[in-house]
């Protein structure tokens, strides 16, 4: 019971941090631009939805491993991730280029 | 945040005639040039992999089996899959963008990379690079 409560609280905090990034930072949404940001080493954190196809997920993780960039597996599917970004479309993966005022980069990459 | 499309990185070409072939980055143009306004790399790759050499092969057969056919190409970053492997073969003097301008310069560049690849294959190092990718 305690574990699930903790995940709910961290989940909300991710959403809050993501909302702050959307407002104040730079980001790209979508698989193509995520790979582009990794290739040009501009991405600082990658967030992947949980219903991302496993091949695509592995590919993004491999690029991120080469780049030494953290990957966060979002606890929700692409619909939820799109909603968390404040968009009306589905987002399977997104890359945070500049976190703005948010501390998402410092607090998130500990998990994988 | 570490750039990985650097010279000597082993990559796999994903599109085009050489799709599925392994290549090594010789030079990377991250910002692009005026002719190619996108990030691209000059790669030297293997057109035809060397065959499997076994112990009971004669010297003539080994020499025949160890032949490598090469290609030199400018490829968009999007059409490359980077790997964690590197191949430190010095190709900068041999392979350059102006080698791709005329046919005979290209052939000369391919011949020189062929020699370098073959001698690297014969030492037995970088075995992953010289094995065919099965898909």
Q: Which residues of A touch B39 (CB under 8 A)?
A: 39-40
Q: What is the pLDDT of residue A98?
A: 93
Would A12 be classed as within a structural domain?
no
pTM for the predicted model, two decimal places: 0.90
Closest B-chain CA to A97: B1
How far apart CA B76 and CA B15 sit, in angstroms, is 10
Tell me how close the Cα of A13 comes to any Cα of chain B, in angstroms.
24
Q: Detail the DSSP E strand segments found in chain A.
A: 26-29, 45-48, 70-73, 93-98
Interchain CB distance below 8 Å, B39 and A44 = no
A72: domain CATH number is 3.30.1330.30
As a dihedral over the C-alpha atoms of residue A6, residue A10, residue A16, residue A20, rounded to 10 degrees, the angle is: 160
How far apart CA A108 and CA A62 sit, in angstroms, is 19
Half-sphere exposure of B21 (CA within 13 A, CB side): 23
> Which structural domain range is residue A74 located in?
26-98
How far apart CA A91 and CA A11 sit, in angstroms, is 17
User: Which of A39, A66, A68 is facing B39, going by the closest CB pair?
Assistant: A39
How far apart CA B41 and CA B133 sit, in angstroms, is 21
User: Which of A39, A44, A69 is facing B5, going by the closest CB pair?
Assistant: A39
Q: Is the domain defined by B9-130 classed in CATH 2.30.30.770?
A: yes
How far apart CA A52 and CA A95 sit, in angstroms, is 14
> In chain B, which residues touch A (CB < 8 A)?
1-5, 30, 39, 77-78, 82, 84
Would A21 be classed as within a structural domain?
no
Q: Which residues of A touch B82 (CB under 8 A)?
A: 63, 66
Q: What is the pLDDT of residue A62?
A: 96
Q: Are B14 and B31 in contact (CB under 8 A)?
A: no
Q: What is the pLDDT of residue A53?
A: 96
Would A5 be classed as within a structural domain?
no
Q: Which residues of B touch A69 (CB under 8 A)?
A: 1
* Token pair in block for residue B135: 């898909």
Consecutive 10-residue runs of chain A (112 residues): their mean pLDDT? 63 90 95 95 94 96 95 94 96 94 80 50
For chain A, the straight-line distance linking the first and the last C-alpha, in angstroms and rounded, comes to 22
Element (H, E) at B18: none
Tell me how close the Cα of A40 comes to any Cα of chain B, in angstroms.
7
Closest of B105, B85, B102, B82 to residue B94, by C-alpha: B105
Q: How large is the ipTM?
A: 0.90
Three-class SS string for A13-58?
HHHHHHHHHHHHCEEEECHHHHHHHHHCCCCCEEEECCCCCHHHHH
How far apart CA B93 and CA B7 sit, in angstroms, is 13
User: Which of B1, B39, B78 is facing A67, going by the closest CB pair?
Assistant: B1
Tell me how close the Cα of B3 comes to any Cα of chain A, in angstroms.
5
As a dihedral over the C-alpha atoms of residue B27, residue B2, residue A37, residue B82, rounded to 10 degrees, the angle is: 50
* Token pair in block for residue A55: 């091949």
**pLDDT tens track of chain B, all 135 residues?**
789 999 999 999 999 999 999 999 999 999 989 999 999 999 999 999 999 989 898 999 999 999 999 999 999 999 999 999 999 998 998 999 999 999 999 999 999 999 999 999 999 899 999 999 999
Q: What is the pLDDT of residue A11?
A: 79
Q: What is the pLDDT of residue A112?
A: 46
* Token pair in block for residue B96: 């350059």
Number of domains in chain A: 1
Interchain CB distance below 8 Å, B2 and A67 = yes
């Amino acid at each position: 019971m305690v574990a699930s409560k903790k995940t709910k609280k961290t989940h909300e905090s991710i959403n809050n941090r993501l909302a702050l990034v959307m407002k104040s930072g730079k980001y790209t949404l979508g698989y193509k631009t995520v790979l582009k940001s990794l290739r040009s080493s501009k991405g600082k954190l990658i967030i992947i939805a949980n219903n991302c196809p496993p091949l695509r997920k592995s590919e993004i993780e491999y690029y991120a491993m080469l780049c030494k960039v953290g990957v966060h597996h979002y606890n929700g599917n692409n619909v939820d991730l799109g909603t968390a970004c404040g968009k009306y479309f589905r987002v399977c993966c997104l890359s945070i280029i500049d976190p703005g005022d948010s501390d998402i980069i410092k607090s998130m990459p500990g998990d994988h | 945040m570490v750039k990985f499309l650097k010279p000597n990185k082993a990559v796999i070409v994903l599109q085009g005639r050489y799709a599925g072939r392994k290549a090594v980055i010789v030079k990377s143009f991250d910002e692009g040039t005026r002719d190619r306004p996108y990030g691209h790399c000059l790669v030297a790759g293997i057109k035809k992999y060397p065959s499997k050499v076994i112990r009971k092969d004669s010297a003539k057969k080994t020499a025949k089996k160890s032949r490598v056919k090469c290609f030199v190409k400018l490829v968009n970053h999007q059409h490359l899959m980077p790997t964690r492997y590197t191949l430190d073969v010095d190709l900068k003097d041999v392979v350059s963008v102006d080698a791709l301008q005329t046919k005979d310069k290209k052939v000369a560049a391919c011949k020189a990379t062929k020699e370098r690849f073959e001698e690297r294959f014969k030492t037995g190092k970088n075995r992953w690079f010289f094995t065919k990718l099965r898909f």
